A and B are shown apart, each in its own frame.
With several copies, the nearest count.
Chain A
Amino acid sequence: MTKPPVIGRTREEMAQRLALDIPDGSYVNLGIGIPELVAKFVPAGRSLIYHTENGMLGMGPAPSPGEGDPELINAGKQRVTALPGTAYFHHADSFAMIRGGHLDLCVLGALQVAQNGDLANWSTGEPDAIPAVGGAMDLVAGVKSIFVITQHCTREGEAKLVQKCTFPLTGCAVVNRIYTDLAVIEVTPNGFRLVELSPGIDFNFVQERTAAPLLRTPERIEAG
């Protein structure tokens, strides 16, 4: 029996799966990369309001190529549009929203997530890399829920879900949920808990690619 060429969810399918879990009316900050895809998959009937840390609520999609204003950009420095109800504000107000717990959800990429919710996503710690952190440490410290969206393993096949991060941390015990190509995983006081397997993926397949124990206790027991 030959291995199928694609296993688990694509990036778009991961974004689509995550989007299902965002309640209507949420204030959301989407990180650069896969997180940005989430906006495309918000289910019909739900309105989200997007925050970008460089000073805007009500961000809309990118304009047509060549259109837009070079001074209307998102945190990834790409041109965006403004939806009705947009407000602009300065950086201190923007991070007051973040740090003060006013945003409902932030979706971020990850290098590593530890079983206690530690996140590493800003630096590989290589000595000649130019350190650059941006707003990630503020986002994870302040936003009510932190969802990570990431491939389950690196291109080299190494686990990104680990017992303890080896890369420099972005924040301690901050991640709530992880959406990967293989599964949806929750961070609980007892470690990683499987919420859902991607179609065609079985538990052992995920556990083998996760460098920490993966609980399958049902949520109702966890809650007790």
Chain B
Amino acid sequence: MIDKRVASAAEAVSDIFDGATIMIGGFGEAGSPVELIHALIDQGATNLTTISNNTGSGQVGLAALLKAGRVSKVVCSFPRTANSTVFPELYRSGRTKLELVPQGTLAERIRAGGAGVPAFYTPSAVGTPLAEGKECREFGGRKYLLEHGIRADFSLIKGRVADTHGNILYNKTARNFGPLMAMAAKVTIVQVAEVVEPGQLDPESIVTPGIFVDRVVAIANPAHESELVEAGASYP
């Protein structure tokens, strides 16, 4: 019997090790796996590399993980947020390194990593500072950059509902990087509001097939980052 449920966020992240590379889903607050990130803060792993679109806001979720000093490098497309001072301070003081990647290149690199494609060419960023040091090659008279697939040790993702096989549905624009990161990690951990039995999800509508998912954690009423920030919350 395949059953990918684990009892708690704490159990789900228990084997994340110092120095691990972790993909963290979300675009802004949509799809940010706040409870998994908080469990990771409690767990204590450090010297992490995170791969994510943003760097969080306020003093909760991803911003709190950064603030706790656990992240030595951030791979990110837009590490600037209206309500955050955490990453800017870490970056300016040199405590956290940044690899800046255009958003579409970041998405495609994660997909490539998950799809067994070691490298691909893209027109994005040709002729810009982000092309520096990258191989440039012409196809059909146009210039493209070589970009490499990326993989991670763990992915932390937020879905809406899962079945016990790990098939995942998402909520609206919270889908964003989730299905890609699920493909690209050795261990993919998904928090969902609801877990159902196999057969209860429409097989035509499944977004992330269970083969990409290792652990499912039910978090019935996940927090929204913006609401926590508005309430002045900080973690821990």
Direct contact of A and B (CB under 8 A): yes
Whether A6 sits at the interface, judged by CB under 8 Å, is no
Q: Are B180's CB and A73's CB within 8 A? A: no
Q: Is A41 an interface residue when CB atoms closer than 8 A count as contact?
A: no
Contacts of A170 in B (CB 8 A): 128
Query: A72-86 vs B: 1/0 string, CB under 8 Å?
Result: 110001000011111
Contact B115 A100 (CB under 8 A): yes
* Chain A residues with CB under 8 A of B28: 54, 73, 77
- Measured between alpha carbons, how far is A79 from B72 in the docked complex, in Å? 32
Chain A positions within 8 Å of B171 at CB level: 69, 71
Q: Do residues B211 and A102 form an inter-chain contact, with CB atoms below 8 A? A: yes
**Known contacts A99-B124, A141-B123; is-contact A92 B211 (Cβ 8 Å):** no
The verdict on A70 contacting chain B, using a C-beta distance below 8 Å, is: yes
B4, closest chain A residue (CB): A25
Contact of B173 among A25, A49, A71, A98 (CB under 8 A): A71
B43 lies within 8 A of chain A by Cβ: no
Which residue of chain B has its CB nearest to the CB of A47?
B2
> Given A54-B176, A72-B172, A137-B130, A87–B100 Cβ distance below 8 Å?
no
Are the C-beta atoms of B103 and A91 separated by less than 8 Å? yes
A96 within 8 A of partner (CB):
yes
Most buried by B among A84, A136, A141, A172: A141
Q: How far is the CB of A134 from chain B (nearest CB, A)?
A: 4
Check B58 for interface membership: any CB of A closer than 8 A. Answer: no
Residues of A within 8 A of B176 (CB): 54-55, 90-91
- B:90-137 near A, CB below 8 Å: 91-92, 98, 100-108, 110-111, 113-117, 122-130
- CB proximity to B under 8 Å, residues A152-204: 168-172
Partner of A135, one of B104, B173, B179: B104
Q: Are B207 and A90 in contact (CB under 8 A)?
A: yes
| Pairwise interchain contact B177-A135, C-beta atoms closer than 8 A | no
Q: Known contacts A91-B180, A96-B116: does B102 contact A135 (CB below 8 Å)?
A: yes
Q: Check if A137 sits within 8 Å of B128, measured CB to CB.
A: yes
Interface string of B134-170 (1 = CB under 8 A from A): 0000000000000000000000000000011101001
- Tell me, in angstroms, the Cα distance from A71 to B1 when the chains sit together: 28
B220 beta carbon closer than 8 Å to chain A: no
Contact of A87 with B103 in the complex, beta carbons under 8 Å: no
A61–B133 CA distance with the chains assembled, in angstroms: 41
CB-based contact B203/A54 at 8 Å: no
Known interface pairs A47-B2, A98-B104, A138-B105; 14 further A-B residue pairs with C-beta atoms within 8 A, sorted by A's residue number: A55-B27, A55-B173, A58-B203, A71-B174, A84-B197, A85-B210, A91-B104, A91-B106, A95-B103, A96-B115, A97-B209, A99-B123, A133-B102, A171-B128
Cross-chain pairs A/B with CB under 8 angstroms, 5 sampled? A71-B172, A88-B204, A95-B108, A100-B113, A169-B128
Enumerate the 7 nearest inter-chain pairs by beta-carbon distance, A residue then B residue, closest first: A84-B199, A85-B198, A95-B104, A138-B104, A99-B116, A96-B115, A91-B107
Q: Which residues of B contact A (CB under 8 A)?
A: 1-2, 27-31, 53, 77-80, 82, 87-88, 91-92, 98, 100-108, 110-111, 113-117, 122-130, 163-165, 167, 170-180, 183-184, 197-199, 203-204, 206-207, 209-212, 224-227
